Structure 1
Amino acid sequence: MTNPSEKYQYVSSAKLPTKLGKFAIHGFVETESDQEHVALSYGEWQSDEVVPIRIHSECLTGDALFSTRCDCGAQLERALQNIVEQGKGVLLYLRQEGRGIGLLNKIQAYKLQDEGMDTVEANEHLGFDADLRDYTICKLMLDKLNVKHVNLMTNNPKKHKALIEMGINVVERTPIDHGITDDNRHYIRTKTEKLGHQFSEQQLKK
């Protein structure tokens, strides 16, 4: 059995200027699967400071192709803007497309949704759990960046719970109610009702 300390490894860091600000990008890898993940950091902090962070799962369709079927791209941009506005923060970008089922399976799930299933039913019809994501690597990423206390930007209680179980002090949880469109309102309501995501009813009715 692989030693937990060897399962995830830090690789390297570099400067990453963006349209929102000058970040640093840090590379990590899961040694058993060679799956790669990155963290973006902005600003500086001491280990006793509360740092705003977001755990963001890769979404090619939303993040890069501007799809309005989900709220991912809008939440990613809003989180980075929040970090820059606060002068410090970390975005953990995990390569877990489609809540862990992968890009091509996600496209198949989209087709099932086009035919009437919701996002949870589609994943289960394909033989997957509703959410297969694993957040274990976040501990190594945050330790490497000297982050002990966080303000977690998320609507997902599973991420909140995962950090607490890893020993990260979640001082505050800040929801990101961005990216709700006519194309994804039903999808987001399903995440709220079946997966426990925390969107306000007011936001869902807009």
Structure 2
Amino acid sequence: MTEKIGVLGKQPQRRTGVERVVNAPLPTVYGKFQAIGYLDHDRGDEQVALVHGDLGADRVLTRLHSECLTGDAFGSQHCECGDQLAAALRAVVAEGAGVVVYLRGHEGRGIGLLAKLRAMALQAEGLDTVEANLALGLPVDARDYAVAAGMLKDLGVRSVRLMSNNPRKREALERHGVEVDEQVPLLIEPCESNITYLRTKRERLDHHLPHLDAVGHLS
């Protein structure tokens, strides 16, 4: 008698990359957007691109905005993130077309919310934002922009005018195949609560923040 041997079926391959899941209208105080939701299969994060107008393919006004709960939702003056998000949304509406890619999983330059709060506590004791991350045994900047490039490619965007003061964002996009035709400054007036943080970004993280030269009187 011949014994039948069962043959195991092939295991389904895990999906990778970014997948567009939903497109919904999103009226805001800044103007009307389409909220296009994506799933990042590599990290498991849910992402969103806020699109205004007809993007076209080239020289699209674009902001890659790293999630910042304290700044975006709570209006923290420890950073300039909330003001930058608002300025970017206003800019794409004024332009008539553009996209703000809101990058979840980027909290605290990629270290997460609780770690960011621990780093903020260390900064209150005198460390700068770079020193605080290192003191916690964490990377200074752990963000990855592959998903942002994937979302832009899905939207048909080949090249952008990037609203950012951070040269690393430009380098990351170009490394992932999205051309940056121009880097558009997104400068927010500093205040006493964030001037040290902004100076650290300029001096230690190479952010282009020329407007800080005019506010030397802030401590």
1:60 matched to 2:69? The reply is yes
TM-score (norm 2): 0.88
Identity of aligned residues (%): 45
CA contact (8 A) 1:163 1:169 kept: yes
Change (3 A) 1:98 1:203: farther
The structure with higher relative contact order (CA 8 Å, sep 6+) is 1
Cross-structure match for 1:172: 182
2:83 matched residue in structure 1: 74
Alignment RMSD, CA only?
1.7
User: Is contact 2:61–2:163 with CA below 8 Å preserved after alignment?
Assistant: yes
Distance 2:177 2:15 in 1: 16
1:157 aligns with 2:167: yes
What letter corresponds to residue 71 of structure 2 in structure 1?
A: G
Q: Deviations over 1:79-98 (max 9, x none)?
A: 11110000000001001101
Q: Distance in 1 between matches of 2:131 and 2:170?
A: 24
Equivalent position to 2:213, from 192, 198, 202: 202
Distance in 2 (CA, whole Å) between partners of 1:97 and 1:15 is 26
Q: Would you say the 8 A contact 1:189–1:204 is kept in 2?
A: no
Residue 70 to residue 191, structure 1, CA distance change in 2 (3 Å): same
Classify the secondary structure of the residue corresponding to 1:178.
coil
TM-score, length of structure 1 as denominator length: 0.93
Aligned to 2:59: 50
Following superposition, which runs of at least 4 residues in structure 1 exceed 3 angstroms of deviation?
Answer: 203-206
Q: Which runs of 5+ in 2 are unaligned?
A: 1-12
Offset of residue 205 of structure 1: 3.2
Change in Cα spacing, 1:5 to 1:157, as seen in structure 2 (3 Å) is farther
Q: Aligned with 2:160: secondary structure?
A: strand
Q: Which is greater in Rg?
A: 2
For structure 1, which runs of at least 5 residues remain unmatched after alignment?
none
